[in-house]
Amino acid sequence: MMLETHKENPAICHHEACSRESSPVSMSQGSSPSSGIQSEEERFSEVSLRDQALNALKGLQLHMQFNKHKCSKDSVSGNVLTELLQRPEIKNFLVQLSQVSMFDSEEFFDALPNDLQAAGVMRSLRYCFARTPVDLAMDLASLADCNTFGFMKTEAQELVKYVKRLPVDVVRAPLRQFIEKDRVLRLIYERSLHRLAHSVPHAIYPTSAYRESRGKIWRNEDASNIETQMDLCYRAKIRVVSGLLQNSNELANYYVSFGRVVCLLDKKLEPLYGEEIETYFRDNGIQFNLLSYRVWEKDKHIGTVEKILDDLKSLGVSRNEPVLIVGGGVITDLGGFACALYHRSTPYIQLCTSIVSGIDAGPSPRTCCDGHGYKNIFGAYHPPIVTFTDRTFWKTLEPGLIRHGISEIIKMAVMTDMKLFELLESAGQRLISSKFGTLCPEDKEFGAICDRIIGLSLADYVKAEYENLWETHQLRPHAYGHTWSPGFELPAGLLHGHAIGVGMGLSTHMAYDEGFVTISERDRILRLFNEMEISFYNPIIHKTDILWACQKKMIEKRGGNLCAPVPKKIGRSGYIQNMPRERLERLVKEYLKVCESYPRNGVGVEPKVTDVGMEECDL
């Protein structure tokens, strides 16, 4: 049997025997460098990535101090950047970084175990030769701004200012081209770039700096029987920030090298944030292209997706240009799905303006739209490259939408995180009345609690989603409340948060019946819903034909298994696999009695889409 290893380059290597652990580099043709280059890179590979970064930044610091007079001139050439790239500590650092596969990202985090920010910047720097000179300068400045290297950030910022003043055709072209156009740099880098192109093509000719693939093929001698394996790795980031548009260029920096941003915006947010977002980008020298859409629940269909696709094409969005999606859960689902389809995979950045998008739909890889009477029947797994959750946007949310979003946080707390559950109990109704502290910015302590709740919820959610990115198994804690609610959410005209709240409440009673939780644990969970005025009961559940039909569809969707997520103690996940119709009907009747003692019998405040000014979906 032969094994062939395929990567995104023409080289194919044949091996009689090769272990699964063999690296792509060792299995590629044409990857053997000359002895001189190999010995040089082997010598520097013995130095830790942290020390190499430190040496490179010290070299940058000295270089910028020595060339300060050149940087202050009105007219600039590329000499300062050229001479910086000639420095051996810079060259060896960049080449060494480029050899680390995305599949081996642990090397960055192991090298900087106490500086997550620095490790993240190194993951970006790894693609320096395929990205632009201004990206390189901004990444080096970001690295210098990290705790590990913060003493040299002044010089790094001077480099950014200098590079941004270079001609546009230089600033926006790949760094590799800048190197190849200079005779000295070409001599210094030529052999290393050649070696990288053959052994690590993602570092030199990537389609995207956020995805990397590898594969293996096994075949017999006459190739009549072929077995394959394909692996795809994504790189993404989630940021919890406050005042992003007022206090940070972090979002803008993703678009500097493109010179423009294409923004998909929920139309109802245009009068609230449209001008502020446009001003933010224009102040950073970035052209702003706005595409706004009405995105009520009734608009979550394939026609809206097609409209977005048409608009992206009309603006000539390129395959590696990140689209910016701003808004709540619906524009997130629709825009993300359109990006998944456009060029078969276009990156996008999510700026979340609602709790649902900030906690759940924003970082979710599950992009989708409704159709044929089904929720989310069309879709693709396509996570954003960056998700920004900024609670200052929540200041303009109606209380009904705050409750609706908190339901998603309770979901993760009940299923995975007792500490988060306790924080929700402690914060209570004030999360709604203060709109997550945005109405009392002077209360820094409560603001920190709000940020902690958001951060823990995101960490729990992303762990559940990204460790099972393509839903390759159905033990999914974040599907708590989603087994029966899709059947009644639209017929009852409920907001999604209230619909899954009802589903979670009923599922929690099922967990009690299963012996997973005690009666006191069940009631503690229901009390939290009640405190937040989120529905955990609705009369529509007594139409058990709806529940039963939904359960059958869900079993079909989940590969023949029910896999209904329920709590198994607060903060731990369990799954119910058997729910005959007789048991379902019995538990629904029992649950009515359980809810009778609560205000409104467990029906939440403003539970319907019409209560917050939206229209119900046409069934």
| Model confidence pLDDT, tens digit, residues 299-338 | 999 999 999 999 999 999 999 999 999 999 899 999 999 9
Per-residue pLDDT at 75: 57
pLDDT band at 153 (very low <50, low <70, confident <90, very high): confident
Q: Which residues contact 429 (CB under 8 A, 6 or more apart)?
A: 531, 532, 533
- Write the single-letter amino acid at 449: I
Q: What CA–CA distance (Å, rounded) separates 352 from 364?
A: 12
Residue 432 has pLDDT above 60, yes or no: yes
Domains of the chain with CATH codes:
2-228 (no CATH), 240-396 (3.40.50.1970), 454-612 (1.20.1090.10)
pLDDT band at 296 (very low <50, low <70, confident <90, very high): confident
Least confident segment among 40-54, 240-254, 431-445, 519-533:
40-54
Task: Record the tokens describing residue 104, joined without a space.
Answer: 């081996």
| Model confidence pLDDT, tens digit, residues 102-127 | 999 999 999 999 999 999 999 999 99
| Model confidence pLDDT, tens digit, residues 443-484 | 999 999 999 999 999 999 999 999 998 889 999 999 999 999
Per-residue pLDDT at 477: 97
Q: Output the CA–CA distances (angstroms, integers) from residue 444 to 124, 243, 244, 563, in the order listed.
A: 33, 14, 17, 42
Counts of helices then strands in the chain (DSSP H, E): 27, 14
**b/e burial code for range 159-182 (CB count within 10 A of at least 16 → b):** bbebbeebeeebbbebbbebbeeb
- Of the candidates 578, 576, 585, 580, which has an alpha carbon nearest to the alpha carbon of residue 541? 585
Taking the model in full, what pTM does it have?
Answer: 0.88
The answer to whether the beta carbons of residues 142 and 216 sit under 8 Å apart is no
The answer to whether the beta carbons of residues 395 and 276 sit under 8 Å apart is no
Per-residue pLDDT at 372: 87
Return the C-alpha torsion angle 170, 173, 176, 180, nearest 10.
-50
Per-residue pLDDT at 31: 37
Helix axes 581-595 and 496-514, enclosed angle (nearest 10)? 110
Burial class (CB in 10 A: 0-12, 13-18, 19+), 86: middle
For the residues 595-600, what does the mean pLDDT come to? 97
Burial class (CB in 10 A: 0-12, 13-18, 19+), 399: middle
Least confident segment among 146-155, 270-279, 360-369, 384-393:
146-155
Q: What CA–CA distance (Å, rounded) separates 390 from 330?
A: 18
Per-residue pLDDT at 478: 96
Q: What CA–CA distance (Å, rounded) separates 64 from 84?
A: 8
Element (H, E) at 214: strand 211-219
DSSP letter for each residue of 414-472: HHH-HHHHHHHHHHTTHHHHTTTTTT-TT-HHHHHHHHHHHHHHHHHHHHHHHTTTT--
Residue 12 has pLDDT above 90, yes or no: no
For the residues 145-162, what does the mean pLDDT come to? 89
What average pLDDT does the structure give for the chain? 90
The answer to whether the beta carbons of residues 195 and 33 sit under 8 Å apart is yes
Q: What CA–CA distance (Å, rounded) separates 476 from 562?
A: 12
For the residues 426-440, what does the mean pLDDT come to? 97
